[in-house]
Structure 1
Amino acid sequence: MSSHISTGVRRPYLVWLVPVLWTLSLGMWGLSRQNSVWRDEAATWQVAERSPGEIWHLLGNVDAVHGLYYLLMHLLFEVFGASTTTLRLPSVLAVAVAAGCVALIGRRLAGPWAGLGGGLALGLLPAVQFQLQEGRSYALIAGGAGLSTLLLVSLIAGPGAEDGDGAGSGAGPGRRTGPRWTAYGALVLVCALLNWFSLLILPAHAVTLWWVRARRGVVAPWLLASAAAVAGALPLILFSRTQSGQVSWIPPLTWHMMIGPGVLLAVGALGAWADLAGGPRTGLPARLTAASVGLPLLAVPLLGLAAVSLVQPLFLDRYVLFSMLGLALLIGAALGTAVRALAPRYPRASGALVPVAFAVSAVALLPVALADRSPASRVDDVLAVAGEVSALKRDGDAVLFAPAARRDTALVSPGAFAGLKDIALSRGPAESGTLKGEEADPARISAALREQRRVLLVTDSGKAAKPPGSPADRAKAGVLRAEFTVVEDRQVRGRRVTVYERRG
């Protein structure tokens, strides 16, 4: 069945190498986003510049779920220096690894064109493009998910599985599976330590094992490896639950929030149908297909997160970015089926199908790619407003941040704030083990503010701005309104800096 397909990809290594290089090129294109960094990445940046002891202190109070990622980024900042390249390059490399894994899985389960198409498709998916250049952990998890899924497929399809009567034991003469199961469990654990929502890959893999009717020789070690990974992550899960206030801002799940995931699931279902309609490939268990791997990987994490969000609002698609590997695999499988259908009558057209589909998709999604590489694609830019502060400040001026979380711009760009007095701050972020520091009580802030002649206020701009929420912020706003006059007001990329001078 696959011999006439293979002629279209004469060098098998190109099936994974081309998607890896394509994804790397996508990631390196516009990596700095015009030298912009938004608030989530600013959290990574400022924590990565702390010492390991200071990071450990922080994790006891906030962001424990990101602890391993912060430590990794601290190491990279120490070795390569703090920059947007160091911040984002790990995500680019991780998605490139994921693309290579999708290609290898697709090639094994549905042929070389399916592998090539799926690997190329991953980097084009809008959700992936957004996280491809993001200084957070979600792309790294996608890379780990790709590797663990590739290992699982290799173990299901190991020697003894070729009889077509269900998945084999994964064991055979001269071939030890123990190291691969250990690697599988270790990958799942590392991903869970990066963000424990990644454990939703385990029920997805469980559905695959059920679908292919895996034998006990596969199921038993999978259960053992999975249990070990969950046990290793359990302390983090339990402790991070004590910091659940961090996600209190996530809105409750509504039906309209499921429209996008619903479309993705429909596309994935069509890809699975096309893959199954193309028939099984020789040399594999009858039920081991791209559909049996890709559809659970796409659907189970999305639906699982939605189910959890009915109890506590947690539905953010970036938490399950790795589910996009399933969608890419299914898209590739559909393309592989189309190639097989065309090949008998139109051999030349069949060989051009995947490249043409890829080129058309890349052009169609070019506006998305351009938008994601623009500073406007994120809610704000802490570096841009730091530049405005540097231009507006005078030695001896005071600075205020409202809310206090907007202090991130000073933490990422301390040079821009040199010479300014942060009159609201009582304990710095590193000292207090927080992301934004601890501010003085409203009375002390008001008193300090009344001693100033000139104040710079850094806050949100436009529609993103909210009424003062904390007592400290209300005190800042009250004194500024009553006793100061605005002499300069600039808004740039989601942030605002306003210069106040005392009346009279």
Structure 2
Amino acid sequence: MIIALAVALRVIHLDRLSLWNDELFSRYYAELFGLGFLWGEGLRREPNPPLYYTLLHVWIGVFGDSATALRAPSVLAGCAALPIVHALGREFGDARRGLLGMLLFALSPMAIYFSQEARVYAFLLLPAGGVLLAIAHLLRDPRKHGWLWGYGLAALVGIYSHPTFPILLIACNLAVPALLLAGHGLSAGRGILLGWFGANSLVAVAGLPVALALAGGDAAGALDWVAPLRLRDIAVALSGLVSGVVTDPRFPGTPLAVALLLALAAGLWVDRPGRREFGVLVLIPALFLGLVIAASLARPILLPRVLCWLTIPLCVLLARGLLAATPVRPLLGGVTAVTFAVGLGWQLGFADDAKEPWRDVLGGLRTELGRADLVVLGPSMDPVILRYYAPGLRGVRIWDNGSPRTIENTLVAQRLGVAPIDGDALLRRIRDGKSVWLIANYVDQPSLPGLLAQARPRLRIDRGCGRYTCVTVLAW
């Protein structure tokens, strides 16, 4: 029943929302450049490692590229994480805790959201959960070396899936040695630590291409649109983790997230977990979050989506608190019920503007765009959006105004024959009376006022994603 509920919540409205910029990049990346590029030069040019793109490319060859087909692997990955949640619950409790953890994970608004997106985040649940489960077994009985191999395999899959996964492994290597020594003593722990560091050395060697690419590649500009870290960003990330990405973080998202996390912390204080459980479910996730925040002081990377895998330890901890006979249990139960109900309500009822509405906007303008003399994409746009939702347009260019260069506005544009056009040339075409259309996304919004001050369009269409404009179409 729990698995059926999880599948239903992840399948319902699967194609209701348009594919957005990043999902469409997932669709075309391997097709445009080939797997050799993905596993070679692409390591330097695209911030996300190539494993997910490779698997999705194979999937598309079998099942096609409809929105449902593209998002289906994420549904499968999100549901495949359920046994990991159950196993962690049983490892630190019993079958009841495993089942309750599964139920909470099935209902998790964040887990549902990313299980409906053609990006890597639902897939990332599997290696992250596998790492936690392997560490839990290793801390209980380090002599079972099979779990060490399991840890290494999960770690390697994670490294080739997302650039923040090495941060999780750093958190593990900060926590696990101390936990091993505390649990087994210095004399016995020395040999165990050799095995641990040996396994991590092998992982480091196998993951070296990703590390070198991250250190010296050209992909850093892909996150230049992210604002410098503010306290508000931490609140937004935690709101997304607890009450869902769609839920308004200002209210009710952040207040509910704070209330639930405080109630959970109170429950853990009253009924304290053992060292092993605390290390796996609290210490490692907390270290990961702290390291991400610290890294974001230099280059902002704290987005809600990088916390998606934390839904696994969160749900296992919530199951613990809801089953423990403590004075905090009624409070935790009430806050959990309200938070998940509100998050699901927003997810199922208020998600119409959660993604860029390219399907609706471009579908309604396709005839007019086909008649245009010039169709210009905003500086941060990915040309594959037109390839998917408005194929066959002529005179497509991309506005080059000095914005950060990414793989989308450089290599993808070149591969699709979309040449750059500077602001002066764009204004000349407008003033010459040509039919010019400009299509811009959220990141491009700061670039528009200067152009609008010099050339007033005859038509302007703005579409919002929540509280901000994420699609603008201008016509002259």
Report if TM-score (shorter chain) is over 0.5: yes
Asked if 1 retains the 8 angstrom alpha-carbon contact of 2:85 and 2:102, the reply is: yes
Higher mean alpha-carbon deviation, 237-246 vs 105-114, is at 237-246
Secondary structure class of the residue paired with 2:439: strand
Aligned equivalents of 1:211 and 1:419: distance in 2? 60
Cα 1:332–1:297 shift into 2, 3 Å: farther
Matched, 1:170 2:170: no
Query: In the alignment, which of 66, 79, 94 is matched to residue 83 of structure 1?
Result: 66
Query: In the alignment, which of 421, 425, 439 is matched to residue 458 of structure 1?
Result: 439
Deviations 1:66-90 (A, max 9, x none): 3222222222222211121232222
Letter in 2 for 1:83: S
Secondary structure class of the residue paired with 1:467: helix
What is the TM-score with the length of structure 1 in the denominator?
Answer: 0.74
Higher mean alpha-carbon deviation, 94-103 vs 262-271, is at 262-271
Letter in 1 for 2:214: S
Matched, 1:410 2:383: no
Secondary structure class of the residue paired with 2:473: strand
Query: In the alignment, which of 204, 210, 234 is matched to residue 178 of structure 2?
Result: 210
Asked if 2 retains the 8 angstrom alpha-carbon contact of 1:99 and 1:123, the reply is: yes
Letter in 1 for 2:346: V
Matched, 1:149 2:125: no
Higher mean alpha-carbon deviation, 201-210 vs 40-49, is at 201-210
Aligned equivalents of 1:46 and 1:135: distance in 2? 12
What is the TM-score with the length of structure 2 in the denominator?
Answer: 0.77
Matched, 1:288 2:255: no
Cα 1:424–1:94 shift into 2, 3 Å: closer
Deviations 1:26-83 (A, max 9, x none): 2111111x24112222222232442335656872663143322222222222221112
Letter in 2 for 1:71: T
Aligned equivalents of 2:368 and 2:70: distance in 1? 28
Aligned to 1:102: 85
Aligned to 1:219: 193
Matched, 1:120 2:103: yes
Letter in 1 for 2:354: S
**Mapping 1:228-267, distance limit 5 Å:** 228-241=202-215, 242=217, 243-259=219-235, 261=238, 263=258, 266-267=262-263
Matched, 1:392 2:368: yes
Query: In the alignment, which of 354, 358, 369 is matched to residue 377 of structure 1?
Result: 354
Letter in 1 for 2:362: A
Asked if 2 retains the 8 angstrom alpha-carbon contact of 1:193 and 1:236, the reply is: yes
Q: Could you tell me how far 1:464 is from its partner in structure 2?
A: 7.4
Structure 2 unmatched ranges of 5 or more: 239-256, 401-406, 465-469
Asked if 1 retains the 8 angstrom alpha-carbon contact of 2:380 and 2:409, the reply is: no
Matched, 1:299 2:276: no
Asked if 2 retains the 8 angstrom alpha-carbon contact of 1:450 and 1:479, the reply is: no
Matched, 1:197 2:180: no
Cα 1:79–1:267 shift into 2, 3 Å: farther
Structure 1 unmatched ranges of 5 or more: 1-17, 158-167, 172-176, 278-285, 343-349
Q: Could you tell me how far 1:218 is from its partner in structure 2?
A: 4.2
Q: Could you tell me how far 1:334 is from its partner in structure 2?
A: 1.1
Percent of aligned pairs sharing the same letter: 23
Cα 1:316–1:464 shift into 2, 3 Å: same
Asked if 2 retains the 8 angstrom alpha-carbon contact of 1:383 and 1:409, the reply is: no
Q: Could you tell me how far 1:100 is from its partner in structure 2?
A: 1.9
Asked if 1 retains the 8 angstrom alpha-carbon contact of 2:89 and 2:99, the reply is: yes
Asked if 2 retains the 8 angstrom alpha-carbon contact of 1:102 and 1:115, the reply is: yes
Asked if 1 retains the 8 angstrom alpha-carbon contact of 2:292 and 2:302, the reply is: yes
Aligned equivalents of 1:467 and 1:442: distance in 2? 10
**Mapping 1:49-88, distance limit 5 Å:** 49-50=31-32, 51-53=34-36, 55=38, 59=42, 62-88=45-71
Aligned to 1:347: none
Aligned equivalents of 1:425 and 1:466: distance in 2? 13
Aligned equivalents of 1:22 and 1:363: distance in 2? 15
Q: Could you tell me how far 1:480 is from its partner in structure 2?
A: 5.0
Letter in 2 for 1:97: A
Q: Could you tell me how far 1:125 is from its partner in structure 2?
A: 3.2
Matched, 1:495 2:438: no
Q: Could you tell me how far 1:389 is from its partner in structure 2?
A: 2.2
Deviations 1:390-433 (A, max 9, x none): 14345464312223515342132243xx353225689xx89962
Aligned equivalents of 1:366 and 1:438: distance in 2? 43
Secondary structure class of the residue paired with 1:47: helix
Aligned to 2:317: 330
Q: Which has the larger radius of gyration?
A: 1
Cα 1:467–1:364 shift into 2, 3 Å: closer
Q: Could you tell me how far 1:340 is from its partner in structure 2?
A: 13
Letter in 2 for 1:273: W
Higher mean alpha-carbon deviation, 391-400 vs 81-90, is at 391-400
